[in-house]
Amino acid sequence: MGQPGSLSWQLANERQTEAAGALLADRLAPFTEPLLLGLTGPLGAGKTTLARGLLKALGVSGRIKSPTYTLIEPYETTSGPVHHLDLYRLDHPGELEFLGLTDFLDEPGLVLVEWPAKAPVLMKRLDFEIVLAFSGERRTLRIDGSGKAASHMLASLPASFSA
Ligand SMILES: Nc1ncnc2c1ncn2[C@@H]1O[C@H](COP(=O)(O)OP(=O)(O)OP(=O)(O)O)[C@@H](O)[C@H]1O
Ligand SMILES: [Mg+2]
């Protein structure tokens, strides 16, 4: 059993991680306010897979690339703009300037950030974190955060996941 208002999802395969992303998309959209979410977990935990499921559910078609090298991929969706960032390769927080964050961070839309700890300035502004972990071959997902967005999210999601 988790804490009251917490969740722990077991994700058996890539398809379930995508389905979890789709469920989150359903609860988060449409984006009427700025929403900044961290996607946390070790290398290969499924962060990009979850982002892909979320974006597909928002109607994004075509190949959804990992922003590993570009650091950022912007999308226009029917629910509003989504920016997907992967800061793993960010060498210095000063490089963030070149990503044009000020153009979208305070606008209605979703910003998903893999490796947010690389940018303390973003880390402290996260509405909540989606935390993926290895569990043998599988993955688990939980939501971390104490703010209003986190509790609202936890209240609207099932404690366990079945895809
Ligand atoms: N629930 C799951 N069970 C088993 N494998 C999974 C699950 N979800 C995703 N995977 C697989 O894990 C691998 C890594 O996924 P992904 O690239 O999304 O990880 P990541 O966290 O974004 O990694 P990185 O830190 O390198 O950006 C992929 O091969 C994907 O298919
Ligand atoms: Mg990734």
Nearest ligand to the C-alpha of residue 10? 1
Closest Cα to atom 7 of ligand 1: 14
CA dist 149 → 11, 25, 75 (Å): 23, 14, 22
Q: Omega into 30 within 30° of 0, i.e. cis?
A: yes
- Give residue 54's pLDDT: 98
Check residue 4 and give its pLDDT: 56
> pLDDT tens digits for 138-148?
999 999 998 99
Q: Which atom of ligand 1 is nearest to the CA of 52?
A: 18
Q: Which residues are within 8 A (CB) of 10 and not within 5 positions of it... i.e. 6 or more apart? A: 135, 138, 139, 140, 160, 161
DSSP secondary-structure letter at 89?
T
Return the CATH class of domain 9-155.
alpha beta
- Split at pLDDT 50, 70, 90, the class of 1 is very low
Distance between CA 31 and CA 81 in Å, rounded? Answer: 8
User: For residues 121 and 109, what is the distance between their CA atoms, to the nearest angstrom?
Assistant: 18
Atom of ligand 1 nearest to the CA of 42: 25
What are the pLDDT digits (tens) for 86-130?
999 999 888 898 899 989 999 999 999 999 999 999 999 999 999
Residue nearest to atom 25 of ligand 1 (CA): 43
Ligand with minimal distance to 17 CA: 1
The answer to whether residue 2 scores a pLDDT higher than 90 is no
Q: Please say whether the beta carbons of 9 and 20 come within 8 A.
A: yes
Probe ligand 1: pick from 17, 43, 84, 135, max atoms within 8 Å of CB? 17
Global pTM? 0.96
Q: What is the tens place of the pLDDT at every residue in 3-40?
A: 556 899 999 999 999 999 999 999 999 999 999 999 99
Task: Ligand 1, residue 138: give the atom nearest the CA.
Answer: 3
